[in-house]
Chain A
Amino acid sequence: MTLDKNQERIVTSDNLLTVSNFSVMYDVDPPVEAVRDVSLTLKRGEILGLAGESGCGKTTLAYGIQRLLKPPAVITQGSAIFHDKAGEDIDLNSLDEKQMRAFRWNKASMVFQGAMNALNPVVNIGKQLGDVFTTHRPELSRAERHEESARLLEIVGVGRDRLRAFPHELSGGMRQRVMIAMALALKPQLMIMDEPTTALDVLVQREILQQISDLRKEFGFSVIFITHDLPLLLEISDRIAVMRAGKVVEINTAEQIYHHAEHEYTRKLLASFPSLTGERGDFVRGTSSVETGA
């Protein structure tokens, strides 16, 4: 049930990422301010949850940090500074296209929403994993690439015998694991996971979360975990940022959010998930019981 009781020990005190006054606008008519003046820090080894309803700007923020946004989205202000393990501070906004491409995946990778659609259906997964190495580690030989890809599949519990499998031959959970393997390939310091388990059923979801947790212990990366599933986030995150209409309305440890949510919206969001084992009637009678955690 509880993923790891020793989460505190994994989280270190030095910062990995500092986002300050970050804003993103969709330059359409009328313009939409999707992310408004967001500031947050992420510690090395920490899992930071980003919660909020559809359209609150969670994904836009994550894409903005990775500079994956396409017009009409524009970053209107703010910065994201990545504090590299090597001691260097990298201002992500100052990197040119080529530097950015080298940065992505090497230092910060991403697990995209919907593994079903993120993999190329006509290329086997071994080749898709190999592509990461071809691009970022051109010095590796073909045999080494093959070996690395196989090892990755083993790490995530898919097994090396599936290297030649095509995405449609794998279940949803397996495909999601392949996506995680791909994100792990270059041992990044930051992984952004955008709804990595939303389409999966609870048993598979639990296995994958356990895996993420184990891998974090082993490799010490930080995670920004995006989902609308607040109960899930409460369990796996060290800290949670609650977003609404582009703003972070509250950021605190998972425990504080759960027991002493300060913002009314956080309480409302908590109340929209009926408790599995708590009191009955919380849900059927009261339309929105906001007294939770008060």
Chain B
Amino acid sequence: MTTLEFKDVTKRYRIRGTGDFLALDKVNFTLTSGKTIALVGQSGSGKSTIAKILTQLERATSGEVLLDGKPIPRRGRALRSYRQQVRMVFQDPFASLNPYHTIRHHIERPLRLDKVVPNEEVENEVYRLLERVRLEPNDVIDRRPHELSGGQRQRVAIARALASRPSLLIADEPVSMLDVSIRLGVLNLLADLQRENNLGVLYITHDLATARHFSDEIMVLNRGVVVERGNADDVILNPQHAYTRELRDASPNPDKHFAAPGTTSPRS
């Protein structure tokens, strides 16, 4: 079992002229394999800063990030091995794949760099990964990103993230750029993979409805402070903090809107 721990993590951005900006203020949480935590909050609340620190694109100003009790390595092979365990799926599938390279190349790279399987096995592994994200390997393997739809591209991005067999996955708004008709399909795929591989997933989103259904726990971030956390249903159905309530009440909720006395919601 893999455990990733955020201990009193603070991030301060230096801004010339206006003084510092406190992006994260003593954030604590633990992400373990097999569990899904949703991180919600409005724009600018610090969600992506957490993702950046987790992937070491940014460093915490103070506090510790521990993987199985050890701090994140700063550089070199150790950092690469850390990143092999903690993978990221980005928001924009149009920007996160290299337009010059084929899908095969995208999936092969992590397999070869991280020496996940012996060289002669790589091709088979690429096929296997594409199948796992429900793509027909022969249809897509020699294509380039622009020949695929947004949903297909995001599936490729997920296959790539899974290639080095991570134990934790950071998904930063993985479906917000996709068309509504396929969002649920991609989220369901992520949920399936999470169960099959016993992955720990940090699902970063501003969509409370999918956060609730996709994750075990929800963590609410406001101005860099975790204001509430708990079981996903509890946080949404019975929020304790005023900010969580505000966020929930602002989310479109036709069930409540149409819940006149005597009528039952069609979803219940």
Q: Is the CB of B263 within 8 A of A259?
A: yes
Q: Is the CB of B257 within 8 A of A234?
A: yes
Q: Is the CB of B251 within 8 A of A276?
A: yes
Residues of B within 8 A of A (CB): 42-43, 179-181, 183-185, 187-188, 191, 206, 208-210, 212-214, 233, 236-237, 246-258, 263, 265-268
Q: Is the CB of A279 within 8 A of B247?
A: no
With A202-B42, A235-B254, A258-B258 given, is the CB distance from A274 to B210 under 8 Å?
yes
With A235-B254, A276-B255 given, is the CB distance from A202 to B206 under 8 Å?
yes
For B246, the chain A residues whose CB sits under 8 A away are: 203
Select B257's contact among A2, A200, A205, A228, beta carbons within 8 Å: A2
* Other A-B pairs, 11, CB within 8 Å; known A258-B258, A269-B180: A1-B256, A201-B206, A229-B180, A229-B252, A231-B209, A231-B253, A235-B253, A275-B265, A276-B236, A282-B267, A284-B214
Q: Give the residues from 1 to 41 in chain A that come closer than 8 angstroms, CB to CB, to chain B.
A: 1-2
| Whole-angstrom CA separation of A203 from B248 in the bound complex | 9
Most buried by B among A229, A230, A280: A280
Question: Can you name 9 A-B residue pairings with CB atoms under 8 Å?
Answer: A201-B206, A203-B246, A206-B250, A234-B258, A255-B258, A258-B254, A268-B181, A274-B209, A275-B209
Interface of B, helix, strand, loop or mixed by DSSP: helix
With A272-B181, A277-B237, A279-B267 given, is the CB distance from A284 to B191 under 8 Å?
yes
Residues of A within 8 A of B (CB): 1-2, 53-54, 172, 200-206, 228-232, 234-235, 254-255, 258-259, 268-269, 271-284, 287-288, 292-294
Q: Is the CB of A283 within 8 A of B187?
A: yes
For A283, the chain B residues whose CB sits under 8 A away are: 184, 187-188, 210, 213-214
Q: Is the CB of A273 within 8 A of B267?
A: no
Which residue of the partner chain B has the closest CB to A172?
B43
Q: Is the CB of A280 within 8 A of B42?
A: no
Q: Is the CB of A280 within 8 A of B206?
A: no
| Whole-angstrom CA separation of A204 from B45 in the bound complex | 13
With A269-B181, A272-B180, A283-B188 given, is the CB distance from A259 to B209 under 8 Å?
no
Select A288's contact among B184, B247, B267, beta carbons within 8 Å: B184
For A201, the chain B residues whose CB sits under 8 A away are: 42-43, 206
Which residue of the partner chain A has the closest CB to B42?
A201
| Whole-angstrom CA separation of A172 from B185 in the bound complex | 30
| Whole-angstrom CA separation of A201 from B206 in the bound complex | 7
Q: How far is the CB of A180 from chain B (nearest CB, A)?
A: 18
Select A53's contact among B179, B209, B213, B237, beta carbons within 8 Å: B179
| Whole-angstrom CA separation of A53 from B183 in the bound complex | 11
Most buried by A among B250, B251, B252, B255: B252
With A202-B42, A202-B206, A232-B252 given, is the CB distance from A280 to B212 under 8 Å?
yes
| Whole-angstrom CA separation of A172 from B44 in the bound complex | 12
Q: Is the CB of A231 within 8 A of B210?
A: no
Most buried by A among B181, B214, B256, B263: B181
Q: Is the CB of A275 within 8 A of B267?
A: yes
For A268, the chain B residues whose CB sits under 8 A away are: 181
For A288, the chain B residues whose CB sits under 8 A away are: 184-185
Most buried by B among A54, A231, A259, A284: A284
